[in-house]
Structure 1
Amino acid sequence: MKRNQGRIRFIWLCITPAFVLFVLFMLIPTFNVFRMSVYKWSGFSAEKQFVGFSNFKILLGDAVFVKSFQNTVLLLVIVTILTMSMALLFAAVMTRENVKGKDIYRVIFYIPNILSVVVIAAIFSAIYDAEQGLLNGLLGILRFGFLQRMWLGDQSLVIYSIAGAMIWQSVGYYMVMYMASMSSIPESFYEASALEGSGKLRQFFSISLPLIWQNLRNTLTFFIISSINLSFTLIKAMTNGGPDGATEVFLNYMYKQAYTNSSYGYGMAIGSVVFLFSFGLSLLVSRATKREPIQY
């Protein structure tokens, strides 16, 4: 009995510091976001005016907020689908095919993930430059000059240009994770499937994908949340929401309202919506992808 009590005390001693930090830097700030969303406050004065849900009512008629919502959803759909598809494809090729220098390719693909977002923004701003950018330069060399565009100045294209930078930054990280999962699948499964006449595409969908499904499900939920944050930092560094609001997203608009336009309460109302949207979307994805785990 005393031994069990000592073990319990030791466990509490280990988790208490992390729990205290979680409360101080996660729960309390989150609570304050919701609390300040019902006030009208500049963020700098001592006067706070309680306005109830007026900030949320204003959001419904805010055209810029609606545009930022549409852009956020568009980025989440495009970036998530392409990143996960490319990561799975590259992981399958690197795992199942006899590729020389796999470790080198793994490092090369992973490098974008360890770069600062500001560095990535600078790289892609240079690539997309209309006059001296690499992309337009290559199109000109390949005699596809008719495809040259102002990639960060065209309102119809700029959001897709941002999506390209996000995909480049993320795909290597998830490729490495899926390679680790696929490498643990017994080779005998593929050999038995090959004897039955299954091709590599059938083996991927019937063996590889089901057996790494739990990992895919977990990373998908994490990716959705991280993409919302990544979109803010990239857009802040590359376009700041321009041109003419074409790349405005949730967090960038919240930042402008709270810290630039001195509408802190309104900004916190946007932050509350972002939190509820992220939580609800993660829950929806988790429920939609839930299935019985396959053990081997």
Structure 2
Amino acid sequence: MQHGKYRFIVGFLVAPLALYAVFVIWPFIQSIYYSFTDWTGLSPDFKMVGFANYERMFQDDVFWKSLQHSVMLVLLLPLVTLGLALFFAFMLNVGGRRRKGTAITGVRGSGFYKIAYFFPQVLSIAIVAILFRFAFNPNDGVINGTLKAVGLGSIQPDWLGDPNFALWCVMAVLVWSTVGFFVVLFSAGMASIPKDFYEAALLDGASRFTTFFKITLPLLWDTVQSGWIYMGILALGAEAFASVQIMTVGPGGPDYSTTVLPLYVYLSAFRDANAAYATTIGVALLVVTLLFAAVVMRLGRRERLEF
């Protein structure tokens, strides 16, 4: 019986594992292999160059700028996005005033707010980036136009053209476009927490602040930890690449002030026709992503709470 069971399980796993190996594992192996060559990406001819690409990468100022910007995004973006999402979700589910018949309720109109927060998820990140590129336009954009309308016409920054503001503008757009997903996710988790926990805490004199840190956050910790890793991958992947590629001048400018690792991989491969060097930067991006996930899993490890 046991032997037959294992054969049955292996039979179901062979096909998906084979597909995973071909379409996920093998491209990683190929990328690492090509990072030791001089392949241009335009010709099938190439030769092994050893660690020359890695030596070049460690001496490349643009790479270090890109790495710094990616690390900044991966540290700040999850912190801001998940912090706002937890606050909004808590207010929508638990933070309202007492009403007749119940002590625990969300703010009025919480259903509408959930839809409003989630709305950016309906839009592609490309559309969001294009909309905000126009909004940040220094001449006729909505943001500078609003500043002028309220009497702050003397404050007219060149948002995406100023190296001091450009990356922060991109980060603000990423927060705006992703926070709604986590509001809905955390709201679903909070809705599953028994109301008796909150009512007992309030009867004991606990404040909303205390109930959040003593009840809500511990019971949602697994979801928060998964969200942190997911946000980190977005900050190191397609979301950051698309936003910088579409919104910024260059792209990645001005003066490489918004260049992130995924964009530098793209520029090296398609602008500079140096696929081997692009795969080298991709290997560095893979290492950064794995380190981020490992650190979050290690620091976020705690005893699992069930209810």
Q: TM-score, normalised by structure 2?
A: 0.92
Q: Which residue of 2 aligns with 1:78?
A: 76
Distance 1:112 1:6, change over 3 A: farther
Between 1:83-92 and 1:145-154, the stretch displaced more is 145-154
- Aligned partner of 1:92 in structure 2 is 90
**Runs of 4 or more off by more than 6 Å in structure 1?**
none
Coordinate RMSD, CA, aligned: 1.5
* 1:165 correspondence with 2:173: yes
Indicate conservation of the 8 Å contact 1:75/1:159, yes or no: no
Residues of 1 paired with 2:123 and 2:254: CA distance? 26
1:33 corresponding residue in structure 2: 31
Paired residue for 1:264, among 254, 275, 297? 275
What amino acid is the match of 2:72?
Answer: L
- Is there any run of 5+ residues in structure 1 with no aligned partner, and where? none
**Which runs of no fewer than 5 residues in structure 2 stay unpaired?**
97-105
Q: Name 2:210's counterpart in structure 1.
A: 202
Counterpart of 2:21 in structure 1: which amino acid? V
Q: How many residues align?
A: 294
AA aligned to 1:234 is S
On the 8 A contact 1:42/1:262 being kept in 2, the answer is yes
Partner of 2:41: 43
Q: 1:235: which partner in 2? A: 244
Separation (CA, whole Å) in 1 of partners of 2:123 and 2:11: 36
- Amino acid across the alignment from 1:233: A
Q: Distance in 2 between matches of 1:48 and 1:292?
A: 52
What is aligned with 1:279? 290
Taking only the aligned residue pairs, the percentage that are identical comes to 30
Q: Which amino acid aligns with 1:235?
A: V
Q: Secondary structure at the match of 2:159?
A: coil
- In the TM superposition, what is the alpha-carbon distance from 1:47 to its structure 2 partner? 2.2
Q: Map Cα deviations across residues 12-67 of structure 1 (whole Å, 9 max, x no partner).
A: 44433322221111100011111100111111123212111111111111011111
Deviations 1:172-191 (A, max 9, x none): 00111111111111111111
Distance 1:40 1:111, change over 3 A: same
Question: What is the aligned counterpart of 2:116 among 108, 126, 135?
Answer: 108
Note if contact 2:70-2:235 (Cα within 8 Å) is conserved in structure 1. Answer: no
